[in-house]
Amino acid sequence: MPESANARVNVVFVCLGNICRSPTAEGVFRAVVERHGLDRRIGIDSAGTGAYHVGEPADQRAQAAARRRGFDLSAIRARKATKGDFKRFDYVLAMDRQNHAALSRICPPGEEHRLSLFLDYAPQLGQRDVPDPYYGAGDGFELVLDLIEAASEGLLADIRENHF
Ligand code: 4NP
């Protein structure tokens, strides 16, 4: 049996504020993982590269949009990403290229393989960034959910292929 067969795989989603995109990804991916009965095998968290909203719950618009699709974000509180996240998490998933660049700057040498763009797990989307919905119209949150739901399936497939 490979050494990793019983290991827990840890995943963190990272956006700018940790109040819109990455908590949405945390809630959606948690539901997908639970649906597949893998919640004891996969740890899930989220963080922001900025500290503006540390300690706050997810944006009310993000929570409402998620709730309409059956995802509960109410327990999530914002925190800032740290270089220690590259030790704790096997997958450090940036929600866009701007946050990927910010994470690259705090990534310890030798840990770069942990960092990727979340939407690269859904190449069929033809889109690499989850657009920031914070300042936009309300339907930005629906697009965020659509993209995240698609990439969550691809991410789970990658974890199954490479770890279980
Ligand atoms: P998020 O959205 O990165 O998806 O959480 C944002 C939330 C807050 C801000 C920017 C983006 N802000 O500038 O305060």
Domain membership of residue 104 (yes or no) is yes
pLDDT per position as a tens digit, 92-146: 999 999 999 999 999 999 999 999 999 999 999 999 999 999 998 778 999 999 9
Domain membership of residue 2 (yes or no) is no
Domain membership of residue 3 (yes or no) is no
The answer, as to whether pTM is greater than 0.85, is yes
- Amino acid at residue number 131: P
Give the domain extent around 13.
9-163
Domain membership of residue 117 (yes or no) is yes
- 13, 25 in Cβ contact below 8 A? yes
Domain membership of residue 27 (yes or no) is yes
Number of folded domains that form the chain: 1
Closest residue (by CA) to atom 3 of ligand 1?
16
Phi and psi at residue 38, to the nearest 5°: -110, 15
Torsion angle of C-alpha atoms 102, 133, 63, 122, degrees rounded to 10 = -70
Query: What is residue 114's predicted lDDT score, i.e. its pLDDT?
Result: 98
CATH of the domain at 154: 3.40.50.2300
| DSSP one-letter string for 28-72 | HHHHHHHHTT-TTTEEEEEEESS-TTTTPBPPHHHHHHHHHTT--
Domain membership of residue 121 (yes or no) is yes
pLDDT per position as a tens digit, 34-82: 999 999 999 999 999 999 999 999 999 999 999 999 999 999 999 999 9
Domain membership of residue 1 (yes or no) is no
pLDDT per position as a tens digit, 87-96: 999 999 999 9
Order of strands across the sheet that contains 91-94:
42-48, 9-15, 91-94, 115-117
Ligand 1 site, residue 132, Cβ cutoff 6 A: yes
For residue 14, list its beta bridge partners.
47, 94
Query: What is residue 5's predicted lDDT score, i.e. its pLDDT?
Result: 56
Domain membership of residue 4 (yes or no) is no
Query: What is residue 1's predicted lDDT score, i.e. its pLDDT?
Result: 42
Between 140-163 and 21-35, two packed helices, what is the crossing angle to 10 degrees?
A: 50
What separation in Å is there between the alpha carbon of 149 and the centre of ligand 1?
20
Lowest mean pLDDT among 3-7, 131-135, 147-151: 3-7
